[in-house]
């Protein structure tokens, strides 16, 4: 699970309170209390699954007696028509849990699916896809879990996961050198990204390297500028490309030789996938 046990319990409780309120009036009014149902969750398009265990946990929170059979694990790509889960149990409770379970599964699988599309574009290179902090508030752990299922590498989860010096930081202290020196003197704990400096130009990149940065964030640079950065600094420092990256441009960016490409779209703009819960006779 991407969430700790108590985090998951709290998330599901809020989710169900938001959707159910005081009760599912339509179901209570129309479905006999002892009625049972069998149902299947079906993929209606090609997708990468993410959140299947959370969906099952949502259903079991509504009714632990519902039989849930998970047929596809997270990270697996399926096509339209694939059955990903089977359910059997009290009809009222299945109907009540349906939308909450589908909302989470469709959203997270949408992120994983879009992420996989980006990853496939750069599979032939050594470049790795990174996610960002551009996530729906309070859902970051789930979103970043979904990107991992799609094949991305998680970047900073929070602001305390590493130092990323950007233009506003540099402007506040006067220079890249001053910003990097201040970061080094701060004594922050080691992190996977160390001290990263955002650079718009090759001159800024050279200043950051000379100042002792651990990584360069090449922000909105042209392909020629990125190739030059790889030529001048590759092997000495990790290079990350960022800024306006799309499915149409990521391959060319990766082929410049940069180590990483970070893409906000995979968590910020991923559309939900189409999953249906079909009831069986």
In DSSP terms, 40 is beta-bridged to: 86, 278
Axis-axis angle for helices 91-121, 140-150 (nearest 10): 60
Of the residues 86, 134, 184, 227, only one is catalytic, namely 134
Our answer to whether residue 166 is catalytic in this structure is yes
> How far apart are alpha carbons 213 and 205 in whole angstroms?
9
Task: Answer yes or no: 141 catalytic.
Answer: no
Element (H, E) at 43: strand 36-43
Q: Is residue 18 annotated as part of the catalytic site, yes or no?
A: no
Which residue is catalytic, options 24, 74, 98, 219?
Answer: 219
Distance, C-alpha 58 to centroid of its chain: 20
**Which of these, 88, 91, 73, lies nearest to 31 by C-alpha position?**
91
Residue from 38, 128, 166, 227 carrying the catalytic annotation? 166
| Active-site residue, 278 included | no
Find the distance separating the first CA and the last CA of the chain, reported in whole Å. Answer: 33
Pairing of strands 128-130, 260-262: parallel
Cβ pair 257, 228 in contact under 8 A: no
Q: Which residue in 24, 198, 214, 240 is the catalytic one?
A: 198
Give dist(CA 267, CA 107) in Å, integer: 10
Q: Which two tokens stand for residue 252?
A: 């060319």
Q: Which one from 38, 44, 86, 99 is the annotated catalytic residue?
A: 99
What is the rounded CA–CA span in Å between residue 91 and residue 196?
54
Q: Verify whether residue 44 is a known catalytic residue.
A: no
Residue numbers annotated as active site = 99, 134, 166, 198, 219
């Amino acid at each position: 699970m991407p969430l700790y046990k108590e985090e998951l319990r709290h998330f599901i409780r809020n989710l169900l309170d938001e959707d159910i309120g005081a009760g599912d009036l339509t179901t209570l009014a129309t479905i006999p209390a002892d009625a049972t149902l069998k149902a299947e969750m079906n993929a209606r398009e090609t997708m990468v699954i993410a959140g299947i265990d959370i969906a099952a946990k949502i259903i079991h929170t509504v009714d632990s007696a519902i039989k849930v059979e998970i047929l596809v694990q997270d990270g697996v790509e399926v096509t339209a028509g694939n059955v990903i889960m089977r359910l059997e149990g009290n009809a009222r409770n299945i109907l009540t849990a349906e939308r909450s379970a589908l909302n989470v599964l469709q959203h997270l699988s949408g992120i994983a699916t879009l992420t996989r599309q980006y990853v496939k574009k750069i599979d032939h290179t050594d470049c790795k896809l990174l996610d960002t902090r551009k996530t729906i508030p309070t859902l970051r752990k789930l979103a970043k879990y979904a990107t991992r299922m799609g094949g991305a590498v998680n970047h900073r989860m929070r602001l305390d996961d590493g130092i990323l010096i950007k233009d506003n930081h540099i402007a506040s202290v006067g220079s890249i050198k001053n910003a990097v020196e201040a970061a080094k003197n701060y004594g922050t704990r080691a992190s996977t990204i160390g001290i990263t400096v955002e650079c718009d130009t090759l001159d800024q990149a050279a200043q950051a390297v000379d100042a002792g940065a651990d990584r360069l964030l090449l922000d909105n640079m042209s392909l020629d500028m990125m190739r030059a950065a790889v030529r001048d600094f590759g092997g000495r420092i990790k290079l990350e490309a960022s800024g306006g990256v799309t499915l149409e441009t990521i391959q060319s960016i990766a082929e410049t030789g940069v180590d990483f490409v970070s893409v906000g779209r995979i968590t910020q703009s991923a559309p939900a996938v189409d999953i249906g819960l079909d009831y069986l006779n």
